[in-house]
């Protein structure tokens, strides 16, 4: 039994590795074709990178700092991978105003990583994206919160329930409102989903998903609507980033994003 080809075990192994090699080869051809269409770039700054579209070296360092800053502010809520500043602001803006899927993909992955880190596993909850008003949805063409929630759902193994609440008031751009005005504007903006029957509410914790946590006003308003829809507290909040409001207390916050 010196010739490996005569040994059925080895033959199987070599056939298996041939098909594995073929699969690898095809995958690399597919990647090559894709990279011809879309050269890999950093999802945060758009600069070209070698290999997969991950943050470039300088964005990666900045992201690590903002990840650590967000840990410093936790708990209590929200569950957020990043502080909303610098390169994370750029990522959120790319995702939201340019519909950049690489930025959404990266932020969604990091949100799922944060859920895993605090041991929220499949079967322990379900995701509810903060809805946009239909007028705003028509304008933008997509709901950034829903886009993030879909990525988180796939990565974290959690189901998505986008119809549980709806937005009935268009509060317009909130970027120029101060905390109190924002809270008042958003307080009555959400209602339970129209067609929702109590028995359709899934088990586990509702996890509200949004792009940025600012004052907590949106989350508070959504909580009320979710409870009216039959969700049982605690209702958790997961965002891609959180603003640090302590440094801006009482003043207008023109740097905060609107919905
Ligand atoms: Zn970069």
Coil, strand or helix at 168: coil
Instruction: Tell me how far CA of residue 198 lies from CA of 16, 127, 229, in angstroms.
Output: 51, 17, 7
Whether the full predicted model's pTM is greater than 0.75, yes or no, is yes
Instruction: Tell me how far CA of residue 31 lies from CA of 24, 34, 142, in angstroms.
Output: 10, 5, 27
Q: How far apart are CA 134 and CA 139, in angstroms?
A: 9
Ligand 1 centroid, distance to 105 Cα (angstroms): 15
Q: Per CATH, the architecture of 57-248 is what?
A: 3-Layer(aba) Sandwich (3.40)
SS3 content of the chain, % helix, strand, coil (to 5): 50, 15, 40
pLDDT tens for the 259 residues of the chain, in order: 334 333 434 343 344 455 665 666 666 555 555 555 667 889 888 888 887 778 999 999 999 999 999 999 988 889 999 999 999 999 999 999 999 999 999 999 999 999 999 989 898 899 999 999 999 999 999 999 999 999 999 999 999 998 889 998 876 655 555 667 777 778 889 998 866 666 677 878 999 999 999 988 899 999 999 999 889 899 999 999 999 875 444 444 445 566 6
Ligand 1 centroid, distance to 5 Cα (angstroms): 50
Ligand 1 centroid, distance to 230 Cα (angstroms): 43
Q: Domain spans of the chain?
A: 7-37, 57-248
Alpha helices per DSSP H over the chain: 8-37, 57-73, 86-97, 101-117, 134-140, 144-156, 179-187, 217-228
Ligand 1 centroid, distance to 130 Cα (angstroms): 28
Neighbours of ion ligand 1 (CB under 5 A): 42, 44-45, 47, 56, 59
């Amino acid at each position: 039994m010196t010739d490996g080809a005569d040994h059925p075990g080895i033959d199987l192994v070599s056939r298996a590795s041939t098909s594995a090699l073929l699969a690898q080869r095809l995958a690399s051809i597919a990647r090559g074709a894709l990279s011809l269409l879309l050269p890999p770039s950093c999802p945060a700054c758009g600069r070209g990178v070698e290999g997969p579209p991950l943050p470039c070296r300088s964005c990666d360092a900045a992201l690590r700092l903002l990840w650590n800053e967000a840990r410093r502010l936790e708990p209590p809520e929200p569950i957020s991978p990043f502080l909303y500043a610098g390169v994370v602001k750029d990522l959120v803006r790319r995702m939201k105003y340019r519909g950049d899927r690489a930025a959404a993909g990266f932020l969604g992955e990091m949100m799922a990583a944060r859920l895993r880190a605090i041991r929220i596993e499949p079967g322990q909850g379900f995701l509810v994206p903060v809805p946009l008003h239909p007028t705003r949805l028509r304008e933008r063409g997509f709901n950034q919160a829903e886009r993030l929630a879909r990525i988180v759902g796939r990565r974290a193994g959690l189901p998505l329930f986008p119809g549980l609440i709806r937005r009935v008031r268009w509060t317009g751009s909130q970027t120029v409102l101060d905390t109190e005005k924002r809270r008042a504007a958003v307080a009555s903006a959400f209602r339970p989903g129209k067609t929702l029957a109590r028995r359709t509410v899934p088990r586990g914790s509702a996890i509200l998903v949004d792009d940025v946590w600012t004052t907590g006003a949106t989350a508070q308003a959504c909580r009320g609507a979710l409870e009216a829809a039959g969700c049982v507290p605690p209702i958790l909040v997961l965002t891609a980033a959180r603003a640090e409001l302590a440094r801006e207390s009482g003043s207008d916050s023109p740097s905060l994003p609107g919905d």
